[in-house]
Amino acid sequence: MQVKEKRWQQFIPRPLEDVWDFFSRPENLNEMTPDSVSFEILSDIAGVRMYPGMLVRYRISPFGGLKMFWCTEITHVAEGQYFIDEQRFGPYAFWHHQHHFEPREGGVLMTDILHYKVPFGPLGALANRLIVEPKVEEIFAYRKTAVNRLFGAGGS
């Protein structure tokens, strides 16, 4: 299977400082992740702002009762501009997720760029098409709704 690329954008009508403060705290992932994936942060990160080299450990169950361990590293942080998380251990053969924040009139344009690859060759490609990609889309759609609720956002 080739590396997949997905992009999402969302306008958030809040100051960059507020948006960055929220997204730079990995503990807030709980507020943006659907209950259907049974997302649980295992790392002791309450109140900690992300920094390059930070490891965040999770347990997830995206497909029913199948529990998976996932560990991501925050590899790059440019304060108020972007950060990147990369999987170190977990369900993907490759995971590279860029989070960009661009000040705009009246708020912030947030752009996510995700590159990922599912393991297991042709079988993984089939699993991606039937299960993984729809689940990724579902998670990001939920996140968009959650961000709208949290920040009073609408729009794209």
pLDDT of residue 87: 98
The token pair at 43 is 């790392």
Q: What is the pLDDT along the chain (156 residues), one digit of tens a residue?
A: 799 999 999 999 999 999 999 999 999 999 999 988 889 999 999 999 999 999 999 999 877 778 999 999 999 999 999 999 999 999 999 999 999 999 999 999 999 999 999 999 999 999 999 999 999 999 999 999 999 999 986 655
The Cα 98–Cα 144 span in angstroms is 16
CA dihedral for 101, 103, 105, 107, sign (positive or negative): positive
Contact residues for 37 (Cβ-Cβ < 8 A; gap 6+): 60, 61, 62, 135, 139
pLDDT of residue 66: 83
Chain position carrying tokens 């393991």: 119
Contact status, residue 101 vs residue 80, Cβ threshold 8 Å: yes
The Cα 123–Cα 131 span in angstroms is 12
pLDDT of residue 122: 94
Give the number of other CB atoms < 10 A from CB of residue 5.
10
pTM summary value? 0.93
pLDDT of residue 70: 95
User: At residue 105, what are phi and psi to the nearest 5 degrees?
Assistant: -60, 125
Contact status, residue 147 vs residue 10, Cβ threshold 8 Å: yes
pLDDT of residue 155: 52
pLDDT of residue 65: 75
pLDDT of residue 92: 96
- Ordered by where they begin, the domains of the chain are 4-151 (3.30.530.20)
